[in-house]
A and B are shown apart, each in its own frame.
Chain A
Amino acid sequence: MEVTVTINGDSHTHDVEPRTLLVHYIRDVVGLTGTNIGCDTSSCGACTIHVNGESVKSCTMLAVQADGQDLLTIEGLADGDVLHPMQESFRQCHALQCGYCTPGMVMAAVSLLDENPDPTEREVRIGLEGNLCRCTGYHNIVKAVLHCAEASS
């Protein structure tokens, strides 16, 4: 089935099998490998992207469901060489260790602040409950999100 999606501002059209998962389409067909696959069971959040501006786990969506939708992946967040404020906050607060969860964590955090620009620490922790960091680096991740919220206000 033919699918046309906008990813990071660029339009892509491909013929895909209906059972193709969105994350496989993004990584293997379009070639944007910044979005990671972790648990593949919609638990870990490593594959989080934005669909029409909202965080979604792309391992639990079919590419055909995304037909005509506007997608944003980690590659589309920065403005050229200028990091997105959330990426910059992650860098400043050392909010990554091995880095595997980071693309999904950043995408979830950006969506969280879109919905709640001035969250409490508890709201950040609950808001990121869909993303796992197996380095258990949560402390600095939460710090980075709060730092980003403060810097943006």
Chain B
Amino acid sequence: MIPAAFDYIRAGSAEEALAALAEHGDEAKLLAGGHSLLPLMKLRLATPAVLVDIGRLDDLSYINDAGDHLAIGALTRHRDVETSELVQSQAGLLAEATSHVGDPQVRHRGTIGGSIAHGDPASDLPSVMLAMRATLVARGPSGEREISIDDFFTGFLETALGDDELLTEIRVPKMPDATWGFQKFNRRAQDWAIVGVSAIVDNGSAGVGLVNMDSIPIRAAGVEAALAGGAGASDAAEAAAEGTNPPSDLNAGPEYREHLARVLTRRALEAAGR
């Protein structure tokens, strides 16, 4: 399978990438590791007229300790996140979930920013970002702005990023003493999650994010509220499917996904010590 023809622009800097986006608008797509976009292009589900390759913007590949949070460059590859001692010690849930993204070959190419900006409800990392209440940094023609993860996912494969904006940094609160659980249910190794759950408890406050339970990545708000009210893991997990609208596909219908959400949330909370 070969993608439809496109014009290729290799950006040498974030500024060059922004200039290309400004010129080509919604006809352009950013190419980072390419492991979400290229499969869609090969299936002709995406046919951008212009690809702006940001894969060489090495200055956007970093993991820094920024005081109360980790600052992770959007072009940081999954492999580098997964093996980072800083991430392992300060955001263990993120390191663990990243090690379940795709397979080793995918993690050698795919990037954290690409995975989040793709906005796929079936991908693992958005659930972590929701659970840990990450903040995203976008750069556009008028400068930088911060976007709360709760405002970021706006529709199926749609995000709050403008056509002229570039996701540059992911800010993940440091939680060295947190307890957490990550659950990913699939039928075959390396598959997407049929349902997944990220749960984290830090200083008594809990965050729970769901994979593949709606058309966008969503927070299990009912579970978080129950936990805040003092409920234990199994009682809180009963609320996991509340307010969700799970998809139906070859693997599972909505009812089965709702069941999985409850079971996996309980397991994730138990792993987090609740």
Contact = CB atoms under 8 A, between A and B. Distances in A.
B176 interface: no
Contacts of A1: 8
Interface in B14-50: 31, 34-35, 38-39, 42
B34 A130 contact: no
Nearest to A45: B105
Contacts of B7: 18
B190 A40 contact: no
Interface string A40-60: 111101001001001111001
Contacts, number: 83
Nearest to A20: B2
A40 B105 contact: no
Interface of A: 1, 17-21, 24, 40-43, 45, 48, 51, 54-57, 60-62, 64-65, 67, 108, 111-112, 115, 126-127, 129-131
A58 to B, nearest CB: 9
Contacts of A64: 8, 10, 53
Given A19-B2, A40-B1, A65-B55, A48 B105 contact: yes
A62 B103 contact: no
Interface in B47-90: 51, 53, 55, 79
- 10 cross-chain pairs, A with B, having the tightest CB-CB distances, nearest first: A130-B103, A18-B8, A129-B189, A54-B108, A19-B3, A129-B190, A57-B105, A130-B105, A55-B105, A129-B103
A66 B98 CA distance: 24
Nearest to B1: A40
Contact of A19 (B4, B34, B55): B4
Given A19-B4, A130-B103, A65 B108 contact: no
Contact of A60 (B5, B39, B53): B39
Interface of B: 1-8, 10, 31, 34-35, 38-39, 42, 51, 53, 55, 79, 102-106, 108-109, 189-190
B182 to A, nearest CB: 15
B46 to A, nearest CB: 12
B5 A130 contact: no
Given A19-B4, A42-B39, A56-B109, A61 B34 contact: yes
Given A19-B6, A64-B8, A41 B106 contact: no
Contacts of B6: 18-19
A65 B53 contact: yes
Given A61-B109, A64-B10, A127 B5 contact: no
B8 A112 contact: no
A1 B1 CA distance: 20
Contacts of A129: 103-104, 189-190
Contacts of B105: 42, 45, 48, 55-57, 108, 130
Contacts of A56: 105, 108-109
Nearest to B55: A65
B60 to A, nearest CB: 16
B5 A112 contact: no
A111 B5 CA distance: 32
Contacts of B35: 42, 60
B104 A130 contact: yes
Contact of B38 (A20, A60, A112): A60
Contacts of B79: 54
Contacts of B190: 43, 129-130
A12 to B, nearest CB: 19
Contacts of B109: 51, 56-57, 60-61
